[in-house]
């Protein structure tokens, strides 16, 4: 089978499209023929050597995709079943082995490209708005990187709950993307963003901040009201400064960490959460922008496109 691989860390130039052996299926597994594979920043970090990798060179990145069952040694899935996944390694290939507990059935009216576009980012937005912090009607929510994949879905989930949503982006050209997702405000992350937040909230601050930037963590606390919450779930802008527990005590503010893998802990949780997401999408309550597609053989171009911030929608690799 063909796979997008790399044997050393570095720029997209290290990527190689190679012929490698098809994986051998074992008991309670399915072999999936990928129809669409989600490309994420985590794959860029793995290519650079910043994230943990499984296996030996040539490495295969990717953890998310959708396709059709080619072989099955599972009583739960048969050849021809449509399946998606979001936490299975070695996805950047024509075929991928999936433990039956990690396979998520795709509804008949959800396309492969859509399933591969929404699971990782959609399930992240879902746990943020419901588990890390339960957003309530009338609350003011601030979302960093709101024009990104998680941010776009998180905006819509918070609006469904009746919140007032403020979206931030470093790219002024993507503010319209935030507004298209029905956010109430879209603000450029510049030197005056904190004062604008305080103006919007009449100097009270927001109820909750969802911060995936990291380096902005202390700024997020500054614009959070007393007894407010900050949810920290990413470091796209670098490591955050250490948080002083005395500040948390003096202001009665709460810091919560978030990681998707803490919630996708078993088969029933994966299916339940994915089905809830699919229902919202099929009903039109959440709208997903059409993905940007590259052939798997064009992995280098896809990595460059995502890494350069050229996309405001999901990037897919198509075998």
| Residue the block writes with tokens 């959708």 | 66
Q: Is residue 46 part of a domain?
A: yes
Section 294-303 average pLDDT: 97
Q: pLDDT tens digits for 211-246?
A: 999 999 999 999 999 999 999 998 888 889 999 999
Nearest to 144 by CA among 172, 176, 127, 168: 168
Question: Are residue 148 and residue 64 in the same domain, yes or no?
Answer: no
Question: Are residue 273 and residue 251 in the same domain, yes or no?
Answer: no
Question: Are residue 194 and residue 231 in the same domain, yes or no?
Answer: yes
Q: pLDDT tens digits for 176-217?
A: 999 999 999 999 999 999 999 999 999 999 999 999 999 999
| Structure tokens, 17 | 């499209």
Q: Is residue 236 part of a domain?
A: yes
Question: Are residue 189 and residue 230 in the same domain, yes or no?
Answer: yes
- pLDDT attached to residue 54: 79
Whether residue 311 is predicted with pLDDT greater than 80 in this model: the reply is: no
The torsion defined by the Cα of 134, 135, 140 and 142, in degrees rounded to 10, comes to 70
Q: Is residue 127 part of a domain?
A: no
Question: Are residue 141 and residue 245 in the same domain, yes or no?
Answer: yes
Residue 186 main-chain phi, psi, to 5 deg: -130, 120
Whether residue 30 is predicted with pLDDT greater than 80 in this model: the reply is: yes
CATH number at residue 163: 3.40.50.720
Q: Which of 257, 276, 301 is the last residue of a domain?
A: 257
Q: Which of 257, 276, 307 is the last residue of a domain?
A: 257
In terms of residue numbers, what domain contains 199?
137-257
Per the structure, the count of domains in the chain is: 2
Q: Which of 208, 236, 257 is the last residue of a domain?
A: 257
Mean pLDDT for all residues in the chain = 95
Question: Are residue 271 and residue 312 in the same domain, yes or no?
Answer: yes
Q: Is residue 129 part of a domain?
A: no
Nearest to 123 by CA among 267, 32, 259: 259
Q: Is residue 125 part of a domain?
A: no
Question: Are residue 62 and residue 159 in the same domain, yes or no?
Answer: no
Q: What is the DSSP letter of 29?
A: E
Integer angstrom CA distances of residue 287 from 120, 180, 257: 16, 10, 27
Question: Are residue 199 and residue 269 in the same domain, yes or no?
Answer: no
- What is the Cα–Cα distance from 105 to 84, expressed in whole angstroms? 6
Section 266-278 average pLDDT: 96
Class of residue 46 by CB neighbours under 10 A (exposed 0-12, middle 13-18, buried 19+): buried
CATH number at residue 274: 3.90.180.10
């Amino acid at each position: 089978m063909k796979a997008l691989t790399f044997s050393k860390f570095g720029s997209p130039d290290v990527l190689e499209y190679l012929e490698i052996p098809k994986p051998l299926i074992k008991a309670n597994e399915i072999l999936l023929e990928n129809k669409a594979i989600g490309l994420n920043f985590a794959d860029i970090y793995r290519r650079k050597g910043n994230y943990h990798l499984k296996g030996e060179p040539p490495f295969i990145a990717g953890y998310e995709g959708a396709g059709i069952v080619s072989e099955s040694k599972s009583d739960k899935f048969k050849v021809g079943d449509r399946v998606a996944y979001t936490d299975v390694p070695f996805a950047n290939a024509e075929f991928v082995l999936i433990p039956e507990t990690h396979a998520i059935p795709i509804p008949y009216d959800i396309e492969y490209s859509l399933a591969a576009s929404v699971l990782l980012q959609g399930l992240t937005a879902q746990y943020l708005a419901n588990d890390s912090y339960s957003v309530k009607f009338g609350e003011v929510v601030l979302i960093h990187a709101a024009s990104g994949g998680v941010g776009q879905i998180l905006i819509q989930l918070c609006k469904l709950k009746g919140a007032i949503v403020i979206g931030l982006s470093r790219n002024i050209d993507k503010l319209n993307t935030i507004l298209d997702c029905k956010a109430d405000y879209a603000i450029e992350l510049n030197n005056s963003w904190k004062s604008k937040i305080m103006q919007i909230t009449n100097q009270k601050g927001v109820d909750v901040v969802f911060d995936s930037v990291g380096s902005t963590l202390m700024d997020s606390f500054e614009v959070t009201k007393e007894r407010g919450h900050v949810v920290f779930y990413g470091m796209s802008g670098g490591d955050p400064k250490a948080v002083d527990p005395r500040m948390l005590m003096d202001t009665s503010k709460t810091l919560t960490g978030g990681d998707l893998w803490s919630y996708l802990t078993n088969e029933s949780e994966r299916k339940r959460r994915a089905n809830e997401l699919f229902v919202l999408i099929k009903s039109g309550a959440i709208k997903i922008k059409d993905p940007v597609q590259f052939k798997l053989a064009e992995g280098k171009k896809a990595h460059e496109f995502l890494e350069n911030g050229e996309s405001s929608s999901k990037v897919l690799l198509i075998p």
